[in-house]
Amino acid sequence: MKIGIINVTGYTGVELARLLHQHPQVDLASVTGRSAAGKSLSEVFPHLAGINLTIKAELGDVDLAFAAMPHKESAREVIPLLEKGIRVVDISADFRLKDAPEYQKWYGFSHPAPQLLKEAAYGLPELHRAEITPAKLVANPGCYPTGAILALAPAVKAKLIEADVVIDSKSGVSGAGRSLSLPAHYSEANEDTAAYALEGHRHLPEITQELKLLNPKASLAVTFVPHLVPMTRGILTTCYAPLASAKKERELKELYRDFYKDAPFVRVADAPPHTKQVLGSNLCLVYPTVDRRTGRLVVISAIDNLVKGAAGQAIQNMNLMLGLPETTGLEALPVYP
């Protein structure tokens, strides 16, 4: 199968190229990038010297494409591909939300193809494997939602928690993308930690959408606060929610292990996970526990935001769409130290 990447010059695009190059069942045939069109991939990214491709302005003939464009711009690229019969994994937020008016509220634009929102499969394989496999369009989840949803899904599905949910996430600077921005400058981000988007982050409706699907009768009130921390990769998420009934920690971990028994990339950890323990891998480490003093569920998750939070998960989705084992090309262990 010939695979293409739209916008290979962003962090997710270049990570896709690195991972697809070592994939044994597909051929990375075409990559695009407006600012670098005409240059070799290795000229723009010397660490990819083993990939003999020239960055183009147009994608050309491929069987499946990854769209790694910013929101709003991505939909304009994806729609013509679908009309040509090319299957797409979209990395942006443009097809994640099922309710079209939410795009005006959270992203500031009217969706150009609202009819596609219902057709698009939400690309979290642990929850939507059956919808992803036959899909023509898969909406790859956001990095924050991936860590948060995987942390909370078993508890929400089992109706273990009450309405008030708090999600506290800390992300490395690469989550801000490769374009220049003042908060991501070394002098600004180094030796500094700060919360942002307290008025409501764009990933919040995505998180609430998926949690409510797990328990439609639940009235969940979700508070989500993201933080920028001085590291390159990784997201550590800590979730808090009151337990509906007393639960022993052993029972809780058994519930989580059973929920994820068929999920090759989610592991229930024996100790609180570190972001370094997933660096460069498609793993999500989840650690559920109970605060006995307050009767509150506490769940911690760790992912690499550029792999399980973006490019790796996109390839996991591609594998399912192509009828391949979902672990194909993604079995590399984390990098340490």
| Cis ω before 337 (30° cut-off from 0) | yes
Radius of gyration of the chain (CA): 19
136: in domain: no
In a domain, residue 333? The reply is no
Which active-site residues does the annotation give?
A: 143
Sign of the torsion formed by the C-alpha atoms of 164, 227, 9 and 35: positive
Q: Could you tell me if 92 and 217 lie in one domain?
A: no
Q: Check which CATH number belongs to the domain holding 59 and give it.
A: 3.40.50.720
For residue 202, what is the domain's CATH number? 3.30.360.10
Total structural domains within the chain: 2
Same domain flag for 211 and 266: yes
Contact 53, 40 (CB under 8 A): yes
Q: Is 207 within the bounds of a domain?
A: yes
Residues in the chain: 337
Q: Are residues 113 and 157 in the same domain?
A: no
Q: Has residue 319 been placed in a domain?
A: no
Q: Which backbone phi and psi does 47 adopt, to 5 degrees?
A: -70, -10
Residue 167 shares a structural domain with residue 267: yes
Same-domain check for residues 43 and 188:
no
Structural domain of residue 14, as residue ranges? Answer: 2-119
pLDDT tens for the 337 residues of the chain, in order? 999 999 999 999 999 999 999 999 999 999 999 889 999 999 999 999 999 999 999 999 999 999 999 999 999 999 999 999 999 999 999 999 999 999 999 999 999 999 999 999 999 999 999 999 999 999 999 999 999 999 999 999 999 998 899 999 999 999 998 888 898 899 999 999 999 999 999 999 999 999 999 999 888 999 999 999 999 999 999 999 999 988 888 999 999 999 999 999 999 999 999 999 999 999 999 999 999 999 999 999 999 999 999 999 999 999 999 999 999 999 999 999 9
Same domain, 188 and 296: yes
134 part of a folded domain: no
Q: Is the full-model pTM beyond 0.95? A: yes
Shared domain for 178 and 290, answered yes or no, is: yes
Last residue of a domain, one of 119, 153, 178: 119
Whether residue 327 lies inside any domain: the answer is no
Chain centroid offset of residue 7 CA: 17
Same structural domain, 85 and 157: no
CA distance linking residue 50 with residue 315, whole number of Å:
20
Q: Are residue 193 and residue 280 in the same domain, yes or no?
A: yes
Q: What does the alpha-carbon distance between residue 329 and residue 16 come to, in Å, rounded to a whole number?
A: 11
Does residue 271 share a domain with residue 225?
yes
Q: Do 87 and 188 share a structural domain?
A: no
